[in-house]
Amino acid sequence: MVAMFFIIDDDHQDMLGEYTSLDFGLAELYRLAGIPYDEDPNRAPCTSWAGCGRAWTLYDDRVGRGVDLRVVATLTTSQSGHEWSVGPDAVPSEVDAIDARARSRRARRIRLAAKHWSADH
């Protein structure tokens, strides 16, 4: 089966994995949300990892890689906490799915930044 979604740490250009469905991709972001910033794979690969973090971004590649990538969601991890962001082009059903994940029990300490995506993030 062809992977249509993938997760990259945009801050370090580090590919985490490829997924065959949006749900699998979101499940992986959800798993990452439960891991401390200083444990793999959330521990940044740079020498300044202690003051750094990850910007795990879930991309929708259904129209073909490199053609029109769509950001579905981002999970940033750092010492000050993890934060979900909904991508600028996320559709309502995706926002609901991300919302549900972000509000779940294990992700309680995560602040939901949905619907307030900023371009300079």
Task: Give me the half-sphere count of Cα atoms (radius 13 Å) on the Cβ side of residue 80.
Answer: 5
Nearer to Zn ion, 44 or 86 (CB): 44
- Which one of 46, 63, 91, 100 is in contact with Zn ion (CB under 5 A)? 46
Q: Does residue 50 belong to the site contacting Zn ion (CB under 5 A)? A: no
Nearer to Zn ion, 46 or 63 (CB): 46
Number of residues that bind Zn ion (CB under 5 A): 3
Interface mask (CB under 5 A) for Zn ion, residues 25-44, using x and -?
Answer: -------------------x
107-114 contact pairs (CB < 8 A, 24+) = 107/30, 107/33, 107/34, 107/82, 109/81, 109/82, 110/33, 110/81, 110/82, 110/83, 110/84, 111/81, 111/83, 111/84, 112/83, 112/84, 113/83, 113/84, 113/85, 113/86, 114/84, 114/85, 114/86
Nearer to Zn ion, 61 or 83 (CB): 83
Residues 52-111 that bind Zn ion (CB under 5 A): 52
Cβ at position 44, least distance to Zn ion in Å? 4
Contact positions vs Zn ion (CB under 5 A): 44, 46, 52
